[in-house]
Structure 1
Amino acid sequence: MNVLVYNGPGVSPDSVKHTVITLRRLLEPFYAVSTVNAKVLQTEPWAGKTSALVFPGGADLPYTKECAAVMPQIKKFVSKQGGSFIGFCAGGYFATDRVEFALGDPMLEVVGKRELKFFPGAGRGPAFHGFKYNSEAGAHAARLRLPNGEEFKTYYNGGCVFADAEKYDNVEVLAHYSEPLDVPFTEGSSKLGAAVVLCQVGKGRALLTGPHPEYVPQLLQRRHDHDYNSSIVDALMEHESARLKFMKDILTKLGLHCNNDFADRAAPSLTPLMVVALNNPEPLKKLEQNLKESDAKYENGVTILEGETDTFRIYNSFDQYDKASAELLDQEPDDVAKSILIASANDPCPSSKFTPNFDIQKYFQHLNAQTSVGSLLMYGEIITSSSALLNNNKKLLSLFPDTSMLHIGTIQVSGRGRGGNVWVNPKGVSASTACVNLPLSSPKTGRPTSIVFVQYLAMLAYCKAILGYAPGFEDIPVRIKWPNDLYAMKPDYYRDKNIRLTGKGLEGNKIPLNDIEPAFAKTSGLLVNTSFYNNSYSLLLGCGLNVSHDGPTTSLNSWVRILNQEREMFHMPLLPLVEVEKLQALYMNNLDFILKEFLDYGADRMLPEYYKLWLHTDQIVTLTDHQNTRAKLVGITKDYGLLIAKELISGTNTQFTGNIYHLQPDGNTFDIFKGLISKKVT
């Protein structure tokens, strides 16, 4: 299930960052925490796969404007569908019946009714004087008192008190401010002001806070804010364990399932990136030559390359690992200069102690000697984003020889997806980006290269790598969702339907087309970034695949274990668990071959294989922008890769009217074929 964090107009970027980091720390692997904007909430069917919708800190007025069209959906999600809403600070104001902010202050005053009304009273603030937008001037280490009498301090900056919270039957106060407040919060009572409340709203619940218990003290180093007060961070650090426990307790009370090892899940430091080429030294030589001819500077034994968004400190030997690693320790991943170590003739491969989660030699053992893409490996144990690092730093990318480099990380701390989503890829999710260059036209046929097909072919290559991993892997129930996602059957569906796969795979188990959504779950997705460079196409094929990490869907190795249970019953040899190194090498081998075939023969050569492995043969779709016309999918156009759908005669699933439509997605990432844009062509 998803936990979606709103990231749009009004949101403080810092608040999004703290919210995402804390929620991932507490909720993984049981939920996928990602960011969304108002358009996604309005156009995509998110509610059915979402446990909680989160609005972080910032300014509440822009929320009301940007999200006006989706208010009914949010209210329905909570009250009718039993979903959860979380509002931190501005998100808390946003979910009250009435906002009363800085009354009487002509520069700050915001007063008015709100539509969500999850808290039936007023959100009144700032609870403490001194607030300034985009400043630490009003920041405070607020002391909170819990119902059991315990107290701890957490970050506060402009949040509200929930006025008269005790008088509402559907409201439970989870924490009070234990200090005197600068705004009235109740009438005729000496009670403490409500800082955190849990509201029962129909079938669902809303967790609202005035302060920021989601804020991570270690990330509060505001070097450029002259109002920054280091003593606040010092005070918060003393209460860090209590903050995390409180967050776990209130999320659990909301109904979310938290992990038990959150205390050990601090944000990791980056590790150096290591560049290796064991099968063919030529790409490495070309890289070194390109680096010498670049505008990189050489200082004190280190080559320094200033990229567009990142600085790179480049070393020529793996014996500099300890020095390079020390430069990254305890530094902010997105801000620190990245360390790169390049193999040398005397030191061709790093020690396995530097790469405990990836056997580089094993990768090259399974990579065909004639395979070009992936022949140059850049690996890091902990990286920012394999895709964004290269896409945002074309100066670095241009140093690598064409169609040679594969960037792999075991853990991504700033992963990027479609729609700008950001997440942490944990261990067990293989994150990689292959760098591919294609000519404008085929050298063999002269036909223009339709690069839209590369996304299809890349996922076809990954699917073939999985199904051909070893004898018996053809039974693993993975299929391609158009255009470029990999789906695996849900184990629960497999058990509920009493399906047997061994020896038959999905070919012997036809899944009803109307069961595609409940039967399958996404286990991998592809993000393609395309640019034009040196009169050719430069493509970055970023992919994250669940190899052994089961949250929140399923993994390849889960299916290996399930199939092995079947195989034991029939006294068959057991399947080996998937090794990331071998799988990535097989992916590169297949991708290299498929792309060469595509250039020489076009899409015709590869589409039959793609159709064999996709989910949508004869799938019936409803075209909502054409009076809910029903149509059957019959293939993909060979020019722009659009879906071809034939209109069905009313009341039949096999007879056609003669009308044909071409379909394309509108950015949908949640459901299969909802929100398609269609164009009638005949």
Structure 2
Amino acid sequence: MVSCSELQDAPSLPDGSLALVTNSSEAQSWPQFSMETYSKNLKSSMLGHTLLYAEVATSTMDLLQGLTLHLPKDVGLIAIAGRQIQGRGRGGNAWLSPPGCAMFTLSLQVALSSRLGQRIPFLQHLVALAVVEAVRSLPGYQDLDLRVKWPNDIYYGSLMKLGGVLVTSTVIGSTFHLLIGCGFNVTNSNPTVCINDLIQQHNAQQGCSLPPLCCAQIIARSVSFLEALICSFQQGGPDAVLPTYYKRWLHSGTRVRLWSEDGVEAEVVGLDHNGFLQVHNKEQGVVSVEPDGNSFDMLKNLVVIKQR
């Protein structure tokens, strides 16, 4: 790792080595990403401080797969792509990732003995919440109807998906080694809608002039909010974050059918202390539905087994 000035002073490198320039001025010329904007909006103490950017990648998960097991705990590595050609979704689904979609994978280590380590399914909820908070906490943007959909999606209102979260984990010794993948539409109107479409619509309806947002800004703010949410969870457990989560989620009081359109009718209660969805029905009382393998079909109000 060398600075730009060091590379100019000592341009010859040992055979077989490649310079990783840590402060290249070329970073400002990327069409889909501004390093200056990212740095200005990043308020975390560790997460996201070591950045690997690629204009085109298969997926940001691929960039970090296998690498994170060998990293020190305090590196805070994040991979960001301007475009993905093999973006990953939950359950083996593909995620379309055109330019203008914010796409990143964040490396994180969590001790199994910690509060979050004992309830690791909560992490995907915290990531989705962090993205929503990153936008709605901006002055003037608080009325944009961005929401969290259980277990791992970012929605506009109740019917339009803007993004999602995918978390993979490996346990080595007493530590979770996690890759947090996230993608959400910022400036790309296709294949659905994007955050800037919502801002434009809000401006027209309210007669205001909120400026559009960019990927670098929202990614940096999302990482910052995620670190704060993780810190709160580690200190106070689920009760420290659930009030904010419920403020932003879609499901309070929703009546659903379990497993099929003819299944048992139940009412959504909330999340239990493992991050599983709690529903109440007359036959069984309150039961929990784990996020791994299940999905929430908003169009049919169904909690169903995730199709692969």
Q: What is aligned with 1:620? A: 255
* Residue 27 of structure 2 is aligned to residue 364 of structure 1: no
Which letter does structure 1 place at the counterpart of 2:304?
A: L
CA distance in 1 between partners of 2:40 and 2:2 (Å): 13
CA distance in 2 between partners of 1:451 and 1:606 (Å): 14
**Contact kept in structure 2, 1:388 and 1:416, CA below 8 Å:** no
Please list, as runs of the form range in 1=range in 2, the aligned pairs for 1:159-558 lying within 5 A after superposition: 301-303=15-17, 315-316=18-19, 341-343=20-22, 348-352=23-27, 354-368=29-43, 370-391=44-65, 394-395=66-67, 398-399=70-71, 401-402=73-74, 404-422=76-94, 424-442=96-114, 449-468=118-137, 470-489=138-157, 516=158, 520-533=159-172, 535-558=174-197
CA distance in 1 between partners of 2:259 and 2:81 (Å): 41
Which letter does structure 2 place at the counterpart of 1:487?
A: Y
CA distance in 2 between partners of 1:523 and 1:386 (Å): 18
Q: What is aligned with 1:593? A: 228
Q: What is aligned with 1:676? A: 304
How does the TM-score come out when normalised to structure 2? 0.86
Partner secondary structure for residue 435 of structure 1:
strand
CA distance in 2 between partners of 1:400 and 1:615 (Å): 38
Which letter does structure 1 place at the counterpart of 2:186?
A: V
Distance 1:301 1:359, change over 3 A: farther
CA distance in 2 between partners of 1:423 and 1:586 (Å): 22
Q: Which runs of 5+ in 1 are unaligned?
A: 1-274, 278-298, 304-314, 317-340, 490-515, 649-656, 678-682
**Contact kept in structure 2, 1:366 and 1:585, CA below 8 Å:** yes
Q: What is aligned with 1:664? A: 290
**Contact kept in structure 2, 1:526 and 1:541, CA below 8 Å:** yes
Distance 1:596 1:644, change over 3 A: same
**Contact kept in structure 1, 2:271 and 2:278, CA below 8 Å:** yes
Q: Deviations over 1:8-52 (max 9, x none)?
A: xxxxxxxxxxxxxxxxxxxxxxxxxxxxxxxxxxxxxxxxxxxxx
Distance 1:674 1:378, change over 3 A: same
Q: What is aligned with 1:503? A: none
Deviation at 1:413, TM superposition (A): 1.6
CA distance in 2 between partners of 1:532 and 1:624 (Å): 31
**Contact kept in structure 2, 1:433 and 1:543, CA below 8 Å:** yes
Provide the identity percentage: 32
**Contact kept in structure 1, 2:124 and 2:151, CA below 8 Å:** yes
* Residue 200 of structure 2 is aligned to residue 561 of structure 1: yes
Which letter does structure 1 place at the counterpart of 2:285?
A: N
Deviation at 1:350, TM superposition (A): 3.8
Which letter does structure 2 place at the counterpart of 1:389?
A: L
CA distance in 2 between partners of 1:522 and 1:403 (Å): 32
How does the TM-score come out when normalised to structure 1? 0.40
Deviation at 1:587, TM superposition (A): 0.6
Partner secondary structure for residue 86 of structure 2:
strand
**Contact kept in structure 2, 1:480 and 1:615, CA below 8 Å:** yes
Which letter does structure 2 place at the counterpart of 1:456?
A: H
CA distance in 1 between partners of 2:263 and 2:166 (Å): 30
Q: What is aligned with 1:643? A: 277
* Structure 1 consecutive aligned stretches of length 4 or more whose deviation exceeds 6 Å: none
**Contact kept in structure 2, 1:377 and 1:407, CA below 8 Å:** yes
Deviation at 1:380, TM superposition (A): 1.3
**Contact kept in structure 2, 1:403 and 1:437, CA below 8 Å:** no
Which letter does structure 2 place at the counterpart of 1:671?
A: D
CA distance in 2 between partners of 1:464 and 1:411 (Å): 24
Number of aligned positions between the proteins: 294
